[in-house]
Structure 1
Amino acid sequence: MYEKQAVDYRGPVGSPEQVVLLDDDGRAIGVADKATVHGASTPLHLAFSCYGFDREGRLLVTRRARHKATFPGVQTNTCCGHPAPGEAMEDAVRRRLAEELGVGAVDLRLVLPDFAYRAAAGGVEENEVCPVYVCTLVGEPRARPDEVESVEWWSWEAFVAAAGAGELSPWAQLQAPLLDARRRDWRLVPPAESPPHISTAQLPAEHTGEPPEYVQYEDASPAHPAETWIRRCTQRTSGGGH
């Protein structure tokens, strides 16, 4: 049984998928159609990565569909996506697992709340604040072919080795060693650390505090913080809903 049912935030049939745009301090500043965002100079936006395991501890590794605009055909973690404006991050993770792979998630845990990266290939750039989750998958994967070309079950050790050899997506190459270093603590992430319910209708709060380093890939641009975004959004949205 799932801990929580996925919620559909896609809007009316035919409406474009939207992503949440962020400023250089990681504050929500607006929304944009996903189809218009990714290009040679992609604006910073909000995303997530999820690593889904079976009951035997094997990781579900996916190969991205070859027609995708960013990093087509590469092997990567179980699922990535973007929360819709006003959608809670955990709801977004569950929604994408259901949409792309036909699976549910239990024991969904936030492991890397402050991960962010920038990566480019083929003239298309990713530029994301991207909290990282792990979970146990429920159900037999049924990959959606327009999103996922194929799926395989790997040992965690094999995935970490492939990341170190540069054989995976750039974000997985960065995330795998960070996750591996925290592997013993995966079940110890307190619920209070979960990314907040985001409302882009609210004006951003004043930035306070020192941001952490922004994880970079193939780029030496100025740092973008993420940890302070988590704290600010928690304060900004603690009293409201959608």
Structure 2
Amino acid sequence: MSHGRDRIGTAGEGRPAGMGDDVILLDETGSAIGTAPKAEVHTGETPLHLAFSCHVSGTDGRLLVTRRSLAKRAWPGVWTNAFCGHPAPGEDFAQAIERHAARELGFRVAAVAPAIPDFRYRAVDAAGIVENEVCPVYTATADGEVRPNPDEVMDTAWVEPQDLAAAIAAAPWAFSPWLVLQAPRLDLLRPGGDP
């Protein structure tokens, strides 16, 4: 399955003009089949859609983890990777990652690179909200100070990769299911992996 620039198109600089906060709906092969407003997608019967996860490291090799705002519809208050999001129709992943980094954490990112291009998962939270995503995973480095948007993030921490890996292994229930599923496949969270 390929979910690169060709799959969702390109749009030049920034977010496409006139686009609302829509997500890209997918069929079982990963092909785009339409769009839907983000506010209407995450329910007890969430359709398969396109997303991304981004793991951010600092210049010292530590990883940024965030605690999701209590206002979040799915998994409120749970610790997770730096940020996740949905590319808009006509927006490539690099643009979406830059947009979400700025909106959620108030900084720019550099060295954006694919880490798990074929990641897909489905999970149900305690309230019955379903995540059902084809969700390529990226890594990046932070360029600037963290200034979290309280509507998105209630807390942040910079942690050593080995400490995060140990915490996920010891208490997976304390973290988002996507982070738990991604961790074993991420070199930066494996023993001896490069931070």
Q: TM-score, normalised by structure 1?
A: 0.70
1:129 aligns with 2:134: yes
CA distance in 2, matches of 1:41, 1:95: 27
Q: Indicate if the aligned counterparts of 1:100 and 1:147 stay in contact, CA closer than 8 A.
A: yes
Task: Give the fraction of aligned pairs with identical amino acids, expressed as a percent.
Answer: 48
Q: Indicate if the aligned counterparts of 2:16 and 2:90 stay in contact, CA closer than 8 A.
A: no
CA distance in 2, matches of 1:76, 1:92: 18
- Does the residue aligned with 2:186 lie in a helix, a strand or coil? helix
Q: Indicate if the aligned counterparts of 1:61 and 1:153 stay in contact, CA closer than 8 A.
A: yes
RMSD of aligned Cα (Å): 2.1
1:179 aligns with 2:180: no
Q: Indicate if the aligned counterparts of 1:16 and 1:34 stay in contact, CA closer than 8 A.
A: no
1:173-203 Cα offsets, whole Å, 9 max, x none, are: 010111037868879xxxxxxxxxxxxxxxx
1:195-238 Cα offsets, whole Å, 9 max, x none, are: xxxxxxxxxxxxxxxxxxxxxxxxxxxxxxxxxxxxxxxxxxxx
1:168 aligns with 2:175: yes
Q: Indicate if the aligned counterparts of 1:160 and 1:180 stay in contact, CA closer than 8 A.
A: no
1:147 aligns with 2:152: yes
Q: Structure 2: where are the runs of 5+ without partners?
A: 1-11
CA distance in 2, matches of 1:182, 1:144: 26
**1:168 to partner: Cα distance:** 0.8
Whichever residue aligns with residue 187 of structure 2, its letter is: D
- Give the length in aligned residue pairs: 180
Q: Give the equivalent residue in structure 1 for 2:35.
A: 31
Q: Structure 1: where are the runs of 5+ without partners?
A: 1-5, 188-242
Q: Which has the higher strand share?
A: 2
Larger radius of gyration: 1
Q: Indicate if the aligned counterparts of 1:22 and 1:45 stay in contact, CA closer than 8 A.
A: yes
**4+ residue segments displaced more than 3 Å:** 180-187
CA distance in 2, matches of 1:19, 1:162: 32
